[in-house]
Structure formats: structure tokens, C-alpha cells
Amino acid sequence: MVDHEVDTSAGTAVVDAGAVDRRGTLGVGSDGVLARVRAGAGELTGALRRVAEHVLSDPEAAARATIVELAERSGTSPATITRFCRAMGFDGYADLRLGIAAETGRARSAGWTVDIGREIQPSDPLSRVLDQIMAADTRAMHDTAALLDLAEVERAAVAIAGASRVNIFGASGSALVGEEMQFSLHRIGVAAWAWNDVHEGLASAALLRQGDVALGISHTGQTRETIEMLAEAGSRGATTVALTGFPRSPLAELADIVLLTASQATTFRPDALSARHPQLVVLDLLYIAVAQRTHDRAHAAFRRTAQAVDGHKAAKGATA
């Protein structure tokens, strides 16, 4: 049954056609359609949220459906479908259908969509669990590549390369990702610190100044402690960078530079956990970009740090 409602302020999305990601985050190629929908779904409410959930639940069926059929299946109206398309950055439903069809076709031919969306059962053999994890991670990597704005990565790399101090903020699992980035930057001579305690992080952020960089990591972009630490750094003049899966989250809204990641949840691996690998890939890209822009200094620092720990490696042919 199609509902012919008019989306009022109580039941419509947070975003609209004129407010779609003013940083241009959603302006990606057709191979990022589903990633775009997945990233934006959390910001939608009411009828538009139902359309997003239906498209994500069966993309191939959505690509084959007419606008009336999709409206009926999602319990909305053709007008809502049109608004959804505009909220996702498309001129109309035809563009959305073509984008989904092209993406699902490429994924099927590449062979990496096997079992995506299937719950892992307690009786599943490890071979099937491995296939499921690989399929989900591969999909998340492709989605992240489609969402990521390389111009933003470039801006962040330039800022970090020229910074006298880099602070990295994160809590829980995001803190582990931040520590990995801090270690990588230290190896090439970048003065970086990772903070997961809000008191210590705020104290460190308060000492930042113009020319320094603060990186906040949160998949949801709603972790209060990370938001507070990044906001404090920004108030002191530091360039702020957010690594998140949601372009209109509070963390993204306060950052100067936003780096987006996608995730593909599976049983026992909700979004926050499944986002870990894409986060590491984006940060690895950022680290390499910084190393490229500080090549001589980075190369010398990496050589010295490698020599410093070389004596702790077991000699070839040695036995325990």
C-alpha cells in the first residue's frame, strides 16, 4: 500500500536536496551509489529512511523496479522516491537506477558480493565464515574508495607535513586505530601523539596552535569525548581532521577536513568493528601521502628508526 503522505518536518530527513553534503562528499561516481546511500541512511528519518533501507536490503531488485514499484515496496510514494534521489545527489530516479545497476553488475562480475548480507550462523564452517568476512571487507574497501575525497586527503597530508605537532584523538576501538597512525607518523619523524583519555586529550589540545593538526577518529562521529577534544583543538587554531563514516555527524560538522570510510557489518562484527580495516586503509594512504611530501626527512628518519631496532631482531638461522 503506497502512502501518499507529504513529508513534514516530523517525518522527513535531516537532509534535503539543497543541503546534501556541501563539501561535495556525495558527489562520487556511480560505483559509490550504495556506499553513498549507506553513509547517508543514518541521517534520514521517516519515509526517506524506509526507502534507503529497502534499497540497501536488495539493490538488484531496486535497480529493476519502476519508481511506482519501489514506492509500493518501501511503503512510501513516488514523490518520496524523487526526494530520496535528490537527497542522495541524483537528478532523478533514472540516474539512481542506472548507478545501482552498474555497481551491482560490476560487483557480481568481480565475484566479491558472495553472501554479503547473510548472517553468520553458529554452525557455519570456518571456510564459509572466511568467505563472508572477505566479501564484507572487500565491499567495504570498494565503498570507502568510492566515498573518499582524495582532495581532502591531499589537504590533510599537506597540513600534517607542515605541522610542528599532530594530536590524534579517539576512544575505544578508534583509539587503537589512532595509535597505529601515531606509530607510523613517528617512524618518519612527525611529532604525533595519540590520546584516548579525555582529560589528557583536552589538556594537550589546549596547547595546540595555528599550524598544528588534530585528527579525530570516530566511525559514528558521535563520540562525545572525541568531539570535545577536536573542538578544543580547533578553538586554539589547529587544523582539524575527522575520520568518520557519517558526513553529517557532529564530528564531521566541526572539522576542517573530513575523510570518509564505509563499513559492511556482519554477525559479531557491527559497523564500528567492521569499519576498522577501511579506517586503517585511509590512514595508511594519509601516512604515505605525508611521507611523499616530506620525502628526504621521512626517508632519513625511517632509516634511523629501523637501525635503532635492528639489533632486537633474531639473526637468520638462529634457533630459540
Q: What is the pLDDT of residue 20?
A: 38
Q: What is the pLDDT of residue 3?
A: 43
Q: What is the pLDDT of residue 182?
A: 97
Quote the CA–CA distance of 140 and 123 in Å, as a whole number: 25
In the three-class reduction of DSSP (H, G, I as helix; E, B as strand; rest coil), residue 78 is classed as helix
**Range 197-215 burial, b when 16+ CB lie within 10 A, else e:** ebeebbebbeebeeebbbb
Q: What is the pLDDT of residue 312?
A: 85
Beta bridge partners of 129: none
320 residues of the chain, pLDDT tens digit each: 444 343 333 333 333 333 334 333 344 444 478 877 877 777 788 899 899 888 888 888 888 899 999 999 999 999 999 999 988 888 888 888 888 888 776 655 554 444 444 567 778 889 888 888 888 788 888 888 888 999 999 999 999 999 999 999 999 889 999 999 999 999 999 999 999 999 999 999 999 999 999 999 999 899 999 999 999 999 999 999 999 988 889 999 999 999 999 876 655 555 666 788 899 999 999 999 999 999 999 999 989 988 898 888 877 666 55
218, 228 in Cβ contact below 8 A? no
Q: What is the pLDDT of residue 314?
A: 74
Sketch out the chain's domains with CATH numbers: 33-108 (1.10.10.10), 148-309 (3.40.50.10490)
* Residue among 41, 46, 81, 53 nearest 65 (CA): 81
Alpha-helical runs (H) found in the chain: 33-41, 46-57, 59-64, 67-74, 78-87, 93-110, 126-147, 150-161, 173-187, 198-206, 224-235, 250-254, 271-274, 276-293, 295-310
Three cell numbers written together for 251: 564530528
Q: What is the pLDDT of residue 316?
A: 67
Q: What is the pLDDT of residue 269?
A: 58
pTM metric for this prediction: 0.69
Task: Count Cβ atoms within 10 A of the Cβ of residue 312 and give its class: 0-12 exposed, 13-18 middle, 19 or more buried.
Answer: exposed
Quote the CA–CA distance of 34 and 38 in Å, as a whole number: 6
